[in-house]
Amino acid sequence: MTSPSELSKEQLSRQVRQHLDSLKAAGVDWLPAGSIPSAPSSWNQTQDSVNPKPQAIAGSQTNKETSNTRRQGLFEDVGGPDPTTEAKPTCSGIPLEKRKQELKVLTEKVCQCTRCGELASSRTQTVFGVGPVGADLCFIGEAPGADEDAQGEPFVGAAGQLLDKIIAACKMKREEVYICNIIKCRPPGNRTPLPNEAANCREYLERQLELVQPRFICALGSTAAKYLLNTTQGIGQLRGRFHDYRGIPVLCTYHPAYLLPHRSPGKKKDVWEDMKMLLAKMGRPVT
């Protein structure tokens, strides 16, 4: 095989053009600006100031995966209608308003749940989920921690602040994604949810996802991946490719808590690689 140094400029540029054309044909219309993998610097800062410039593949306008996500990106740029509140066509045929109502009913049902005796007696409140019905992307974590148990909202503690930075680096807003957990109650001492707890909560999670109808799911950490996908594979094996949950593409990545300074902050660059893969699949700008 000819090495790049043996090719003429014309041959090299033809090969690059062919490669870009094949990426474009596959629906990839944005490429990263640099080749050295590193996480956005804002993930190490307390104040988020990421505003990277995406690089477009010349002439690319189409998005094979979803026209909705592309439109959403444009709305952000030009200040059009709020994509988080605009009605989208439904796949299941249940109108958006009905799905919102049913999600409220489900939230109330979960509030009353006592299926897991230990969790029901130790929780301050249930933590159902947050975000718009019809969100393009749903993040699924493991279980509420102390902050989430106190506030009733998922990912509001230290891991949540890092998740917010990850979302911002993806040029999305927290308000436009859906965020929930495998189980809806805090396990005492933040222990890992037990299999029977995940099984008890499964019906709620399945219905929640059925009503929210995200187009993509990002499973945060091995516990979320394990219970969502019903797999015994570890997060290291699951990363780097898409999985399937009832027809929805699922990307698995490290849990934000694992990226905190006292654990493995060096893994942030891997999470950023995962997010770029997800963004490309979603048809959103990859920076």
Sites of contact with ligand URA (CB under 6 A) = 141-145, 148, 154-155, 157, 159-160, 181, 257
Q: Is 2 helix (H, G, I), strand (E, B) or coil?
A: coil
The residue among 162 and 278 lying less far from ligand URA, judged by its C-beta, is 162
Q: What is the spatial distance between Cα 170 and Cα 193, in angstroms, rounded to a whole number?
A: 29
CB of 182 to ligand URA, least distance (A): 8
Could you tell me how far CA 205 lies from the centroid of its own chain?
16
CB of 177 to ligand URA, least distance (A): 13
Q: What is the spatial distance between Cα 76 and Cα 69, in angstroms, rounded to a whole number?
A: 11
CB of 134 to ligand URA, least distance (A): 21
The residue among 134 and 157 lying less far from ligand URA, judged by its C-beta, is 157
Q: What is the spatial distance between Cα 185 and Cα 188, in angstroms, rounded to a whole number?
A: 9
The residue among 142 and 270 lying less far from ligand URA, judged by its C-beta, is 142
The residue among 65 and 142 lying less far from ligand URA, judged by its C-beta, is 142
CB of 148 to ligand URA, least distance (A): 4
CB of 147 to ligand URA, least distance (A): 7
Structure tokens given for 25: 């044909």
Sign of the dihedral through C-alpha 47, 134, 195, 105:
positive
The residue among 148 and 197 lying less far from ligand URA, judged by its C-beta, is 148
The residue among 51 and 264 lying less far from ligand URA, judged by its C-beta, is 264
Q: Is 187 helix (H, G, I), strand (E, B) or coil?
A: coil
CB of 282 to ligand URA, least distance (A): 22
Q: Which residues contact 217 (CB under 8 A, 6 or more apart)?
A: 137, 138, 139, 140, 209, 228, 245, 248, 249, 250, 251
Task: Please identify the residue of the shown chain whose CB is closest to the bound ligand URA.
Answer: 141
End-to-end CA distance of the chain: 32
